[in-house]
């Protein structure tokens, strides 16, 4: 995957080759599987492969930093990847799932339910944005929405730590405050990337579903009760 670059460009223009991106992702995965299955025949030296992995990890990490300090930049848009969103979604779903002992009662969401909500919600918002006439590509939008879950994942971690302490109204107020702050952060971060891709007279129509999406995720985080 390409390294993230900082050069300014035209914000919001669709990447010209999203299909090529998908195929390069698939070929990368295939290459990984093939080299894993044939340990004796390695065309690259271990040092080169490690360098490539470090470069990919650095790209993902750089995008995390962009989400945490959102400013107008094209990095997330032009060099999209779905590793970050996948990692964040899996982490969030693992932390949010209820214990198997409670599966009969009407409780919190299962792992698969969180996964489906995040990805189905992101796809719906992307389709909505494209139908309204936005000029962002499908995978770019998925990438942005997935990466902007990072503040809410941090909120989930903090909530789990806070829940280890004494339960009570103070406990709840702390969690409420943390979730509200992270929710606002997610909205600001994703709007900074997505708002420019819409025509100005429809910006509110495109941003409202993003608000609803992060609100539902925040609600799931806030109402999480350990068994």
Partner 1 sequence: MSGGEISSRTLQIFFLIIGRRLTGRMAAVDDLQFEEFGNAATSLTANPDATTVNIEDPGETPKHQPGSPRGSGREEDDELLGNDDSDKTELLAGQKKSSPFWTFEYYQTFFDVDTYQVFDRIKGSLLPIPGKNFVRLYIRSNPDLYGPFWICATLVFAIAISGNLSNFLIHLGEKTYHYVPEFRKVSIAATIIYAYAWLVPLALWGFLMWRNSKVMNIVSYSFLEIVCVYGYSLFIYIPTAILWIIPQKAVRWILVMIALGISGSLLAMTFWPAVREDNRRVALATIVTIVLLHMLLSVGCLAYFFDAPEMDHLPTTTATPNQTVAAAKSS
Q: Which of 61, 172, 177, 188 binds partner 1 (CB under 8 A)?
A: 172
If one asks whether residue 215 binds partner 1 (CB under 8 A), the answer comes out as yes
Task: State which residue, 87 or 222, has the beta carbon closest to partner 1.
Answer: 222
Nearest to 191 by CA among 203, 181, 179: 203
Among 113, 123, 160, 162, binds partner 1 (CB under 8 A): 113
Select from 167, 173, 177, 184 the one that contacts partner 1 (CB under 8 A).
Answer: 167
φ, ψ dihedrals at 103, nearest 5°: -70, -20
Give the range of 8-16, 33-41, 144-152, 214-222 binding partner 1 by CB under 8 A: 214-222
Binding pattern for the stretch 188-207 against partner 1, x by CB under 8 A and - elsewhere? -------------xxxxx--
Long-range Cβ contacts of 168-175 (<8 Å, 24+ apart):
175/222
Contacts of 86 (CB under 8 A, 6+ apart): 146
20-27 long-range contacts, Cβ below 8 Å, gap at least 24?
Answer: 21/80, 21/139, 22/139, 25/1, 25/81, 25/82
Using CB under 8 A as the binding rule, whether residue 160 contacts partner 1 is answered as no
Cβ atoms of 92 and 114 closer than 8 Å: yes
Binding site residues, partner 1, CB under 8 A:
105-109, 113, 128, 130-133, 167-168, 172, 201-205, 208-209, 212, 215-216, 219-220, 223-225
């Amino acid at each position: 995957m390409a390294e993230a670059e900082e050069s300014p460009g035209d914000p919001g223009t669709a990447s010209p080759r999203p299909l090529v991106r998908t195929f390069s992702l698939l070929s990368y995965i295939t290459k990984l599987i093939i080299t894993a299955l044939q340990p004796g025949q390695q065309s690259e030296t271990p040092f080169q492969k490690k360098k490539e992995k470090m470069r990919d990890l650095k790209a993902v990490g750089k995008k995390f930093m962009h989400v945490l300090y959102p400013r107008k930049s094209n990095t997330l848009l032009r060099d999209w990847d779905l590793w970050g969103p996948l990692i964040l979604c899996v982490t969030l779903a693992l932390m949010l799932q209820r214990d198997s002992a409670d599966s009969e009662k009407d409780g919190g969401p299962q792992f698969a339910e969180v996964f489906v909500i995040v990805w189905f919600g992101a796809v719906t918002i992307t389709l909505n944005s494209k139908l309204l006439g936005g000029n962002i590509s499908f995978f770019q939008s998925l990438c942005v929405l997935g990466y902007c879950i990072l503040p809410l994942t941090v909120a989930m971690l903090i909530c789990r730590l806070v829940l280890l302490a004494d339960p009570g109204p103070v406990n709840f107020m702390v969690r409420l405050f943390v979730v509200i702050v992270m929710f606002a952060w997610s909205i600001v971060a994703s709007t900074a990337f997505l708002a420019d891709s819409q025509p100005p007279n429809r910006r509110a129509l495109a941003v409202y579903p993003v608000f609803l999406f992060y609100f539902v995720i925040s609600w799931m985080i806030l109402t999480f009760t350990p068994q």
